[in-house]
Amino acid sequence: METKSVTSTPSNFIKNIVIEDLKTGKVSQVVTRFPPEPNGYLHIGHAKSICLNFELADEFKGLTNLRFDDTNPVKEDTEYVESIKADVAWLGFQWDGLFFASDYFEEMYKRALVLIRKGLAYVDDQTADQIREARGTLTQPGTNSPHRDRSVEENVSLFERMRAGEFKDGERVLRAKIDMSSPNINFRDPILYRVVHAHHHNTGDTWCIYPMYAFAHPIEDAIEGVTHSICTLEFEDQRPFYDWVIRECEMPNVPRQYEFARLNITNTVMSKRKLKQLVDEKAVDGWDDPRMPTISGLRRRGFTPEAIRNFAREIGVARSNSTVDAKMLDHFIREDLKLKALRTMGVLNPLKVVITNYPEDQVEMLEAENNSENPEMGNRQIPFSREIYIEQDDFMENPPNKYFRLFPGNEVRLKHAYFIKCNDFVKDENGKVVELHCTYDVETKSGSGFTGRKVKGTIHWVDAKSAVPAEFRLYEPLILDDSEDENATFLENLNPNSLQIVQGFVEDNMKQAKPLDKFQFFRHGYFNVDPKHTTSEQLVFNLIVSLKSSFEV
């Protein structure tokens, strides 16, 4: 058996199991699946699972299915189905089979009947509360339901009547008949089916009974011939029941479940339920708000599939839970864009500068490299004339020590242009500085080899006449601290400064920028052209990540 990797991903315990299973012939082809419930948009945690499942199968010439685990009609929606497909494809993965768990409802029903006929399942009339109370605790065994010993015939008949719609929601459930005193609570007669009179996004009104996740999932895996069913650690205690379902339902294929640690990231809400709350309460601008850790939010923010995949690889696959620093994700997008993104100048909070000794009607074109670390990206021409914009922060009337930017009497370098010296400034009626008067030195032109004198500060600018107005959206984490996990009131913990909108200007060649184009603005960081708010009249840039990094892998 050929077990050599096609492309090599880092080693991990699940990959080692796969290698072993192929070597011993336990499986002949790896089949994995990514099984989201279509009850929300995918987040970066799902991306970890997607990368793991698809890359593992790819590496060993196996198959990966995208399967919608849509067994709960109340919360599911086709909007989510479509967004999930789009996100998986955008991440760069092509599924082999596209399935819906709901397509297997008839098969699941038949398998439930197999259990009933074997005396391994019964219909219970107890209420949800009664069932919960009778379940016992970790230290106390549960007690048997008074309906536990119904005959097979009666159970078959009641289950058929459940399906026929004769009972109201919650009136009857089908339960497995295993062991109410099992040390594993999942074996204490778990519920297999419940009555839910609700419209299903895929099966419409065909069904009014729906299988529970723990019963449905192993059957779904077995029907598809999944070999390695990978899930997160919370399901570890479910594994014995997973195996029980496969065995007792007499499924022809035997998938195996393996658990890995879910991804947690600092200052990041990582649960569809909570993310939905943010959307529903309008705390954010939809599921794809650039502050959201959803795949669609990260895309709109400016993250690339490559950065996300590299991040997923780096964090690895382990069996112990941990929290990853959000800076690590930032690191991977910087790495990805470093040599790809055009480096250009954008001025936030502009301040006009008049270069008083520059000829009034003159415009000259200056040569600027597109990416100083990647000469292959070539050069561009940028206009320079008598009036330019710099940033308000790059001037101070009374600077502190070690302020090397503009102040009265000081000289700085304009990136790609000349040295300018500040001689005077104009204030408005409120005392705010609104214009600087500077002079330039023609000798100091960038690239001329001028060595006459040195200046300590280099600032960026744009030519006033040709500059294109732009809006910059600057982001900080949505939540302030990491207490979100057990904290039901995380909505009160939102960062009031998570979005800041600033106006400014960009170089005139940015007129051609298209949605999702990415740039590095000199001294600021990486920005993405926002696909939602950018129009033919207004460019809007999302800050992806600043240039500074304190994280090194």
Which residues form the interface with Mg ion (CB under 5 A)? 37
Complex with ligand ATP: residue 145 or 268, whichever CB lies closer: 268
Q: How far apart are CA 400 and CA 31, in angstroms?
A: 64
Single-letter residue type at 20: E
Complex with ligand ATP: residue 296 or 344, whichever CB lies closer: 296
Quote the least distance from Cβ 82 to ligand ATP, whole Å: 15
- Give 482-498 as a DSSP string: STTTT-TTGGGGB-TTS
Q: How far apart are CA 244 and CA 247, in angstroms?
A: 5
Q: In what order do the strands lie in the sheet with 350-355?
A: 458-459, 411-414, 419-427, 433-441, 350-355, 387-391, 462-463
Catalytic-labelled residue, pool 262, 313, 352, 380: 262
Single-letter residue type at 111: R
Complex with ligand ATP: residue 212 or 341, whichever CB lies closer: 212
Question: In this structure, are residues 39 and 213 in contact, taking their beta carbons and an 8 Å threshold?
Answer: no
Question: In this structure, are residues 438 and 356 in contact, taking their beta carbons and an 8 Å threshold?
Answer: yes
Structure tokens at 350: 């502009």
CB atoms near residue 256 (< 10 Å): 18
Question: In this structure, are residues 48 and 10 in contact, taking their beta carbons and an 8 Å threshold?
Answer: no
537 is an active site residue:
no
Question: In this structure, are residues 98 and 65 in contact, taking their beta carbons and an 8 Å threshold?
Answer: yes
Question: How buried is residue 288: exposed, middle or buried, by Cβ count under 10 Å (0-12/13-18/19+)?
Answer: buried
Catalytic-labelled residue, pool 67, 150, 272, 518: 272
Complex with ligand ATP: residue 246 or 368, whichever CB lies closer: 246
Complex with Mg ion: residue 69 or 224, whichever CB lies closer: 69
- Residue from 179, 254, 187, 263 nearest 218 by CA: 254
Instruction: Please give the residue whose beta carbon sits closest to Mg ion in the complex.
Output: 37
Quote the least distance from Cβ 351 to ligand ATP, whole Å: 45
Q: How far apart are CA 47 and CA 36, in angstroms?
A: 11
CB atoms near residue 460 (< 10 Å): 22
Return the C-alpha torsion angle 428, 345, 301, 495, nearest 10. Answer: -40
Complex with ligand ATP: residue 36 or 305, whichever CB lies closer: 36
HEC sequence for 303-317 = CCHHHHHHHHHHHCC
- Name the residues that contact ligand ATP, by CB under 6 A: 35-37, 45-46, 48-49, 231-232, 262-263, 270-273
Complex with ligand ATP: residue 48 or 163, whichever CB lies closer: 48
Q: How far apart are CA 9 and CA 332, in angstroms?
A: 17
411 is an active site residue:
no
465 is an active site residue:
no
| Residues forming beta bridges with residue 65, ordered by sequence position | 33, 97
- Residue from 420, 409, 265 nearest 353 by CA: 420
The entry of ligand ATP, Mg ion, none near residue 299 (CB within 5 to 8 angstroms by kind) is none
Q: How far apart are CA 517 and CA 83, in angstroms?
A: 21
Complex with ligand ATP: residue 316 or 515, whichever CB lies closer: 316
Question: In this structure, are residues 105 and 203 in contact, taking their beta carbons and an 8 Å threshold?
Answer: yes
Structure tokens at 304: 């690339």
Catalytic residues: 37, 262, 272
